[in-house]
Amino acid sequence: MKRQSRKKSVFSLMDELFASATEPTPKAKQQYQLLRMYEGLRALENEKEPKLDDWLCLTDAINLMELMVRNMQICEDNSGLLDDATNALKQAAQRYQSLGVLRLDGAGINAVRAVLEDYSSMLETLPHRTIVQCHRLAEKRLLEIRAGKVQPHDVVIK
């Protein structure tokens, strides 16, 4: 019998403890995260055949912001922007399942771009430790979804 290996987390508890409690995420790490997310958006806007990884990078940004607003309560979404962005990604997933192509409509592009801008602001202002905590919460939530603990607002591509 083979033992299943557990996927290594991006951030460990040690990463969280050693992350600055006062300084924002280091610029190089900010740029790396944001570049991947904006490349995902660009692909869904312009590429002939965007990849599922492009969509996943965008869902990471939405999920992280959702955790900051709903779970950690360190920022607010008074305009419903997160719901708009979530719905846009959900529609893109439905297009992918029915047509085989990942695409955002115009309103979806604007909503997702606005959430990326908000996430960028959070990276620049919140302590690095808070960002790492948020990532760890997101990983935990993803494991729950994979275990079948899906919430009504979750979007899952099969």
**How many angstroms from the chain centroid is the CA of residue 72?**
15
**Distance of alpha carbon 31 from alpha carbon 130, whole angstroms:** 17
Q: 3-state class of 6 per DSSP?
A: coil
What's the whole-number average pLDDT of the chain? 88
Q: Per-residue pLDDT for 5 more than 70?
A: no
- What pTM was estimated for this model as a whole? 0.85
Q: Which tens digits make up the pLDDT trace of 29-88?
A: 999 999 999 999 999 999 998 999 999 999 999 999 999 999 999 999 999 999 999 999
Phi/psi of residue 24, nearest 5 degrees:
-65, 170
Closest by CA position to 88, among listed 103, 78, 70, 76: 103
Whole-number pLDDT of residue 8: 61
The answer to whether the CB of 48 falls within 8 A of the CB of 66 is no
